[in-house]
Structures are given as structure tokens and as C-alpha cells.
Amino acid sequence: PAHAGAPAAVWEPDWDALAVRWRARVGRVIDGYLRFAREWRPHLVLSDPVEFCGPIVAGALGVPSVVHRWGTDVLTTLARVPARAALRSVCERAGTPGGLLPDPDLLLDPCPPLLRHPRAAPARPVRFVPYNGPGSHPAWGPGRSPERRTICVSFSSRTIEEAGTAALAATARAFEGLEGVRGVFTLPRGRAEELGPLPAHVRVIEPAPLSQLLTRCTALVHHGGSGTGLTALHRGLPQLVLAPPLPSLGVYGERIAACGAGRSLDPGGQRDPEAIRTALRELLDDPSYGAAAGRARE
């Protein structure tokens, strides 16, 4: 597997396009947020990396701003300069110090150190605790066993809507010829037929809380979402990432491969059942992937 010192991919989005969206969104809501905050008088404002209203409100009120990253996030570092330029007039109107977008007083990072992007600014580490909503174990058979290892395949509903099910269908075909392995796919009702004919040891269930589902699994195949991937790492599971062409998802795939806890396939390989089958065999047969996932969990 790749190692933690491997070069890190750099996400360079279209900052001009993002600036237009940031100004429109923040400009539309910031006055209402400020009215509410001045009436409620919070002692601290907590926000996610691209909810720029949070630091603006905190700066205008003179209270601490805390930003909580999503996971393998480099956007909080790369976006600071372009966001500050894009939102200068909004900040001046809000009355932030110097009319600038304030830096957070505290930046929290739930990403395990081995997975963290080397270009991400230093932050206070916090342990990731998975929560995927209420629910129970799906009734899809016995737990994990040495005789039959279970691979969960789970893509977010948004990824399926935007990118389709081609990668999922190729993954289902990849299970043909994998001995002693079963696949469990989570798909919304009515979309299972898009996978085509399924091997006997593959079944489809409706989406369930991943933190519950993965207690019975040996590995995970997913779309590169940090919440999904960090939930698997919490269980010490190796991963195969089939990220659609969205930079934020590709960053997770690059980092999971770099730390040795999984594999990531480019868009060409994501529709090739043989390439997926080879990657799955490596995850299952090479103990270094599971060992790296265990180290990342710690």
C-alpha cells in the first residue's frame, strides 16, 4: 500500500465561481443572522468550514468563533484568502474588526492524524464519533466469520442521484469469482434493479445506520465522503474509494490510500469489474490495510 508520506493531491477549485456563490448566499442571510444574534447574545459561535456567517457574526459581536472541520478537509486552509477577498464588503457592513472575515479562534479537526492532509492548517484534534441516526442491525444474515467475509458497499443518496449507479453496478459484477466473500449493498427502494443481475452472494438492503451495519463487515466500498469513511475507520475497516469527479471526495480517496488504510480507483477503474475485484482481493488478503486502518483509528 501507499504510505503516509506519499504526495498529497491539491484541490484547486474555481475560486471566482465560488466567490460569486459565497457573496450571494452570505449576503442573503447575514442581516437576519445578525439581528437574531444581537437579540440572543451568544457567548460563542460554532460553524462548519464554509458557513462563513458564523465567523462574521462572532466578529461583529466580539465573541469567540469555533470552526469544526468535516474530516479530510483542506478547504478550510485553501479558502481563507479567497473568501476574505470575496466577502470584504459583507464584513465591512457587518462591522467585523477591520472589515475582514475573522480567522476562527479555535479550529477543530475530527480527522485522524494519519489521514490529515499535509496542507491543512494546524487544528485542535478531536475524536470522531460516528452517528448515522437511530436504527438497528438489518436482518440480512449472521455476523462476520472467518469462513465468509462481508464487504459493505454504500454510496450517499446525493452521490447516487448526481453520479448514477454505474460504479455500483460494476462493483456488483466484481463480486463474481470472489470466494468466501459476500457483498451487502445499501440502496434506496426502487434502485436495486439498476445493478443488473446479482451474484448469489450479493444482496441489496435499504439504507441503514452505517455505524450499526459495519459491526458485521470486513471492509467498506464507498464514494469518498468523510463521514462514511471515518465511520469505517472508527471500526478499523480498510476501504475502497470510488469517488465521482468531485474534488472534495477525491481528497478523501487520495488520503486513505496515502496512509495505507485502503485503495482508491480513478474514474476509469470505477467501471471496470476486474479492477475493482483486484482491489477488493488486495484489501481482504493483505493484512497491512487492516493494520493501517487500526493505526488510523487509534
pLDDT(5) > 90? no
Span 254-282, mean pLDDT? Answer: 94
Q: Which of 136, 292, 294 is nearest to 212 (CA)?
A: 136
Do strands 219-222 and 239-241 pair parallel, antiparallel, or not at all (unpaired)?
Answer: parallel
pLDDT(147) > 70? no
Digit-coded pLDDT (tens) for 104-121: 999 999 999 999 988 899
Domain match, 102 and 189 both: no
Q: Tell me how many domains the chain contains.
A: 2
Domain match, 163 and 85 both: no
Q: How far apart are CA 138 and CA 7, in angstroms?
A: 40
Tell me, what's the pLDDT at 188? 84
Q: How far apart are CA 169 and CA 198, in angstroms?
A: 9
Digit-coded pLDDT (tens) for 14-56: 889 999 999 999 999 999 999 999 999 999 999 998 899 999 9
Domain match, 106 and 197 both: no
Domain match, 121 and 155 both: no
19-33, 56-70, 98-112, 138-152: lowest mean pLDDT where? Answer: 138-152
Per the structure, the complete domain to which residue 235 belongs is given by 149-297
Q: 9 pLDDT band (50/70/90 cuts)?
A: low
76-90, 111-125, 139-153, 264-278: lowest mean pLDDT where? Answer: 139-153
Domain assignment present for residue 50? The answer is yes
Q: Which of 97, 110, 25, 112 is nearest to 70 (CA)?
A: 110
Domain match, 213 and 74 both: no
Cα 47 to Cα 64, 110, 298, distances in angstroms: 11, 14, 26
Q: What is the mean pLDDT of the chain?
A: 89
Q: Which of 191, 211, 25, 241 is nearest to 133 (CA)?
A: 211
Whole-prediction pTM value?
0.87
Name the domain boundary from 125, 141, 160.
125
pLDDT(177) > 90? no
Backbone angles phi, psi at 274, to 5 degrees: -70, -40
pLDDT(2) > 70? no
- Check: CB of residue 101 under 8 Å from CB of residue 84: yes
Name the domain boundary from 76, 91, 125.
125
pLDDT(71) > 70? yes
Q: How far apart are CA 75 and CA 103, in angstroms?
A: 14
Domain match, 162 and 260 both: yes
Q: 234 pLDDT band (50/70/90 cuts)?
A: very high
Domain match, 117 and 166 both: no
Angle between helices 287-297 and 226-234 (to 10 degrees): 100
Domain match, 26 and 71 both: yes
CATH number, domain containing residue 21: 3.40.50.2000
Q: Which of 21, 38, 145 is nearest to 83 (CA)?
A: 21
Domain match, 223 and 283 both: yes
With a pLDDT cut of 90, the percent of the chain lying above it is: 68
Q: What is the edge-to-edge ordering of all strands in the sheet holding 124-125?
A: 45-47, 65-68, 106-109, 124-125
Q: Which of 162, 212, 224, 161 is nearest to 187 (CA)?
A: 161
Instruction: Tell me the longest C-alpha to C-alpha distance in the chain.
Output: 65
Q: How far apart are CA 235 and CA 215, in angstroms?
A: 7
Tell me, what's the pLDDT at 238? 97
Domain match, 159 and 283 both: yes
78-92 b/e (C-beta count within 10 Å ≥ 16 → b): bbeeebeebbbebbe
